[in-house]
Amino acid sequence: MPIIVNLDVMMAKRKISLNELSEKVDLTLSNLSILKTGKAKAIRFSTLNAICKALDCQPGDILEYR
């Protein structure tokens, strides 16, 4: 798939664990893990907004088109 999810990169830059992010964005660990590994088929704007707010980043920092 040409859309790459760089969530793990942003989490490493912000030094935040999957558990911490899960609590901040109110998502289950399994759903966040699916997104992190790039296996998700879609993401809601509300979820993307919550992740960007928690990581203090832009959507383009997380999603990349190749």
**For residue 59, which phi and psi values (nearest 5 degrees)?**
-55, -35
Pick the CATH number of 3-57 from 1.10.260.40, 1.10.1040.10, 3.30.420.110, 1.50.10.150: 1.10.260.40
Over range 19-27, report the average pLDDT. Answer: 95
d(CA 11, CA 7): 6
Q: For residue 17, what pLDDT is reported?
A: 96
Q: For residue 1, what pLDDT is reported?
A: 61
* Conformational region of residue 15, where left means phi above 0, alpha means psi within -120 to 50, and beta covers everything else: left
Every domain of the chain and the residues it spans: 3-57
d(CA 37, CA 39): 6
Angle at which helices 7-14 and 29-36 cross, to 10°: 110
**Mean pLDDT for the chain overall:** 94
Instruction: Name the pTM for this structure.
Output: 0.90
Over range 33-57, report the average pLDDT. Answer: 95
Counting Cα atoms < 13 Å in the Cβ hemisphere of 26 gives 5
